Chain A
Amino acid sequence: MADTAIPEGLLGADPDLNDVEALNVRVLTPFQMAWRRYWHHKGAAIATIIMTMLLIIVIFAPLTARYGINEQVLKIQEGNNVYLSPRSIAWMGTDEIGRDIYSRLIWGVRTSLFIGVTSAILSVIIGTTVGAIAGLRGGVFDDLMMRVTDIFLAFPFLVLVIVVRAALGNLPWLTAIIGDISSIRFLIVLFAIFGWMGVARLVRGQVLSLKEREFIEASRAVGASNTRIVLSHLLPNSIGPILVALTLSVAGSIIGESTLSFFGLGPQPGTNSTSLGLLVELSSSGAKQGNWWLVAFPCGALVLLVVCINFIGDGLRDAVDAKLDTGK
């Protein structure tokens, strides 16, 4: 990278190669280089812009939504407010009881994103801890952990979720802590339980390969404790893959929530809330009479959200991969 930025002739003038400023080369910090790699990924750049707009709309939902979650579109000259096609008073049409799809979508994406982000952060915290311990300590704990993870990850997700969800929801002492079976909190914990294993496996792999490197050996030689090695060497060095896993896990949780909602097993947090999956589920029944907007907008929003997050994850993967800059 550096040699492309050096103007010709400068080297001929025999500059002091140790003096970076005399070389007239812009020195980039690793973060700046990663930043540049990230924006070079066109998909990620576009996805970031779309995602930022979506986030602004969703965070300021009370301002951007035109109606409340369960508010009906009223003041209609032509009479009925049920199953209106998209028009100026309801940009994305209305559903079977006359609620504005556009506003409900904003509220729904808000809930879904909240579930996705929270459960992803939770599972990354658990997964990183377990993975780091397993990788560093090795031995029986490591073997057991990885065996359990292997089996867990091989199971059909939906079957496992339905069984575990039912089991956890029937433990009174547990639901006292993590909330009722149909609450958002319960779902976040449920997804964290499933999400941490992939992260743990990833972090373990990182730790295993990093701990043989010279700089770890060096810090061990100067007497650094295990905790210090993990916190100030291993984790900062594997932050890239963890960040990618975090992003992809958000998308996974959003799809998972939608899937559960599709089967009526998602969160039903009172009447004053909705989620993306719930909207998709409700739409599929109403759309059989040719009300295409009921399906098109919620499904479109879900796919847009997931594609954007995946692109951002892809861009992050490029950003943390320093090999892309050196050409090999």
Chain B
Amino acid sequence: MLRFIVRRLLWLPLTLLLVTFLVYCAVRTGWHPEQTYKRSNPRATREKVEQYLAVNGLYKGWGGYVRGYFEWLWRFIQGPDHWPRSIKGRALVYPPLRYSIFNTLRLAGIASILGISIGLTVGTLAARKPGSWFDNIANTGAFFVGAVPAFVSGVILQLVFAVELGWFPVGGVYPPGHQGFDLLLMIKHLVLPVTVVAVQVIAQYSRYMRASLLDVRSSDFVRTARAKGLSERNVLFRHGVRNAMIPVATVLALDVGQLIGGLIITEAIFNYPGMGVYFLKASFNGDIPQLMPYLVIIVTSVLVFNLIADVSYALLDPRIRLG
């Protein structure tokens, strides 16, 4: 077990290097450095352009990609103060990135805690009596809700509850010009985006949980537990739910990436200043210095959570022995 974890941990930096290199190449190909810089700064002098390219290590040609990557990497690991500055106005990259990360973590955290806990409860209740009215409603509901893309539900919720009824603000974290911290105001702004994300999480996890629990319920150890004379409640919770959680926990770790992706849409609709909006802005401007740290964070979190998923599966399921 320990050897498995150590081996995977040793592979992690290597994979990270490789994937970030690929990302670097893709970004450099996708957003032509010189053109995007000139588009953002139409009156930049020749020296300015040269300086920008030199600072970011954006050399031309194939050899330039490798050299550029290592130069970028060296600057990157030295810390945020050494990161290249954004193409527009030479602003520091780190403060807005950190701000957006905290905003996204708040939105994602609340939405996933709400969504997962409700989803798991609904799934458990639905699997308790397959074919009952509750099961049918939950199943059909999850089926329909799962088919509604976030931008449709987001736009509709926004139009109905913010524009027409005016119960909630249209978007943002605070109204424009607001200073300081105000919990109530923040919650008011969070309600709609959290609902959009949470509803999708509920739809997904209630189906996972239901399928997983039904699978466990038909296994031998549940029959044994019943034969021992345990109450149905004990059978369901002590033996059923706990074992049904194993695949769900793995999916959970794997879904972190998709959650971040889904948040981009919600954030864009509600103009919520999170990582999604940050990424969209940076990609529209072709701002390579802003794009790279964002993508590195995404790559790292995806790989780390992938590892956690593998390890958690091995840790949680006693049947798996890895050497």
B149 adjacent to A258 (CB under 8 Å): yes
B298 adjacent to A151 (CB under 8 Å): no
Is A91 interfacial (CB-CB < 8 Å)? no
Interface segment out of the listed A63-71, A121-129, A239-247, A280-288 = A280-288
A159 adjacent to B151 (CB under 8 Å): no
The answer to whether residues A162 and B283 also contact, given A156-B260, A169-B30, A259-B265 and a CB cut-off of 8 A, is yes
Contact check: which of B265, B302, B306 meets A262 at CB < 8 Å? Answer: B265
Contact check: which of A166, A280, A292 meets B283 at CB < 8 Å? Answer: A166
Is A31 interfacial (CB-CB < 8 Å)? no
Instruction: Please give the number of chain A residues whose Cβ is less than 8 angstroms from any Cβ of chain B in the complex.
Output: 41
Contact check: which of B30, B151, B261 meets A157 at CB < 8 Å? Answer: B261
Is A188 interfacial (CB-CB < 8 Å)? no
Mask of B128-165 contacts with A, CB within 8 angstroms, 1/0: 00000000000000011011110110011001000110
Contacts of B23 in A (CB 8 A): 163
Is B254 interfacial (CB-CB < 8 Å)? yes
Contacts of A280 in B (CB 8 A): 151-152, 155
A302 adjacent to B26 (CB under 8 Å): no
Describe B's contact surface by its main secondary structure: helix
Contacts A167-B27, A255-B149 given; 7 further ones with Cβ under 8 A? A154-B302, A158-B265, A280-B155, A284-B155, A287-B155, A292-B159, A295-B159
Nearest CB of A to B296, in Å: 12
Contact check: which of A151, A154, A288, A302 meets B152 at CB < 8 Å? Answer: A302
B residues with CB within 8 A of A:
15, 19, 23, 25-27, 29-32, 143-144, 146-149, 151-152, 155-156, 159, 163-164, 254, 257-262, 264-265, 268-269, 279-280, 283, 295, 298, 302-303, 305-306
A258 to B147, CA, bound (A): 13
- B144's nearest neighbour on chain A, judged by CB, is A307
A171 adjacent to B29 (CB under 8 Å): yes
A295 to B27, CA, bound (A): 35
A-B contact pairs, 22 of them (CB 8 A): A151-B15, A151-B19, A151-B302, A154-B306, A156-B298, A158-B264, A158-B265, A162-B279, A164-B26, A164-B30, A166-B30, A258-B149, A259-B151, A262-B265, A263-B268, A284-B155, A287-B159, A302-B149, A303-B152, A306-B147, A306-B149, A310-B147
Nearest CB of B to A321, in Å: 14
A290 to B163, CA, bound (A): 9
B152 adjacent to A299 (CB under 8 Å): yes
Contacts of A314 in B (CB 8 A): 143
Contacts of A154 in B (CB 8 A): 254, 257, 302, 305-306
Shortest 3 CB-CB distances between A and B: which pairs? Answer: A156-B261, A166-B30, A167-B30
A150 adjacent to B306 (CB under 8 Å): yes
